[in-house]
Amino acid sequence: MPEFAFATSPTGLEPALKLDVARQRPELRFAYSRPGLVTWKAPGPVRDDDAPGSVFAHVWGRSIGAARDAEAARQLIAPLGAAHVHVFARDPETNAELAPWTEFDAGAPVNRPARDGDVVADVIVGAPGEPVWIGAHRHDPSRPAHPGGAIPVDVPPAAPSRAYAKLEEAIAWARLPVASGQVALEIGAAPGGAALALASRGLDVWAVDPGELAPHVAALSNVHHLAVKVGALRWEQLPARIDWLILDVNLAPQVALHEVARLMPRLRAQLRGAILTLKLNDWAFVGELPAFVERIREMGLPDVRLRHLPSNRREICAVALR
């Protein structure tokens, strides 16, 4: 019996996922895809703990097969030895009906966060009338513990942009020691979602952007707006100690990283790490991810991890630590 690997990712991201897997896992052969779900044929057995073949995979694991009804699903899940069943929509646009699948008895708790080492049975629900897709993966600390790779964060109504969620997801996923009293420099800070998140955590935020911050963010005593482009930023404008560098500019990754590299001699001595959003306006940038990682390492941040976060769109989050 041939074995298959599967990945889920937000719809529209499949080209990036396929390109990345073709580069990182050339032994896998693309087999099947639906919006939000891709499978590959493997030359041999696929283990539950198979390392994700792409940073664009929100869930990665062993593909088990399709099930038309609860009984068929139960039969596929039973041999997996799963400690958890994660039920989630393949594509949020399809009005997937999750209820029948969250209520059926698959022999393990449904939609609880996985613990390290647990085998999770993934039940991927498509459009009404479509069979569900069953997969399995073993949870480890590098993977989000919630169904579908979700990273739950509380976003307050006052958040002026999606960047609030992006920042909180990055901190939660990478377990970053971001703490009150630290100092953050954010390049590309308007309208101020990430700045609000950091300021709410008690950080002092230096927000660089020629654009306006939302008035209620600009009014915070621990947010300091520097209304210039990063290229015009002078070192004398910055505080002596910066703990975290945040980058979220709509510039090509090479250009954005060039600007960061220019600042690094000033930041390096004190910096704990960086949260960088790299925009992938051209899918060709997917092939350049290893070069971007190398570039970040050369800046003195050797521990670089990439992940497409739930609130990322055509972009990828790089977390880099000293």
Binding segment (CB under 6 A) for ligand SAM, from list 46-54, 128-136, 187-195, 198-206: 187-195
d(CA 315, CA 249): 11
Q: Which of 15, 43, 81, 211 binds ligand SAM (CB under 6 A)?
A: 211
Nearer to ligand SAM, 132 or 163 (CB): 163
Is 187 among the residues that bind ligand SAM (CB under 6 A)?
yes
Residue entry with tokens 């993977």? 143
Residue 316 sits in the site that holds ligand SAM (CB under 6 A): no
Query: CA dist 120 to 123, 148, 241, Å?
Result: 9, 11, 43
What strands lie across the sheet with 183-187, from one edge to the other?
A: 223-226, 204-208, 183-187, 244-247, 273-279, 315-321, 303-307
Position closest to ligand SAM via CB:
163
Instruction: Please check whether residue 321 is in contact with residue 273, taking contact to mean a CB–CB distance below 8 angstroms.
Output: yes
- Name the minimum Å distance from CB 260 to ligand SAM: 11
Helices (H) and strands (E) in the chain, counts: 8, 14
One symbol per residue from 222 to 251: x for binding ligand SAM (CB under 6 A), - otherwise; what is it? -------xxx----------------xxxx
Q: Which of 80, 124, 174, 190 binds ligand SAM (CB under 6 A)?
A: 190
Residue window 106-145: x/- pattern of binding to ligand SAM, with contact defined by CB under 6 A: ----------------------------------------
Q: Does 253 bind ligand SAM (CB under 6 A)?
A: no
Number of residues that bind ligand SAM (CB under 6 A): 22
Report the alpha-carbon distance of residue 25 to residue 53 in Å, rounded. 6
73 binds ligand SAM (CB under 6 A): no
The 3-state DSSP class for residue 218 equals: helix
Query: Based on the number of CB atoms within 10 Å of its own CB, is 9 exposed (0-12), middle (13-18) or buried (19 or more)?
Result: buried
Nearer to ligand SAM, 42 or 195 (CB): 195
Token pair of 136 as six digits: 């399995």
Report d(CA 296, CA 251) in Å as an integer.
16
Q: Does position 193 bind ligand SAM by CB under 6 A?
A: yes
The residue among 205 and 271 lying less far from ligand SAM, judged by its C-beta, is 205
Find the shortest distance in angstroms from Cβ 233 to ligand SAM.
Answer: 8
Rule CB under 6 A: which residues touch ligand SAM? 161, 163, 187-195, 208-211, 229-231, 248-251
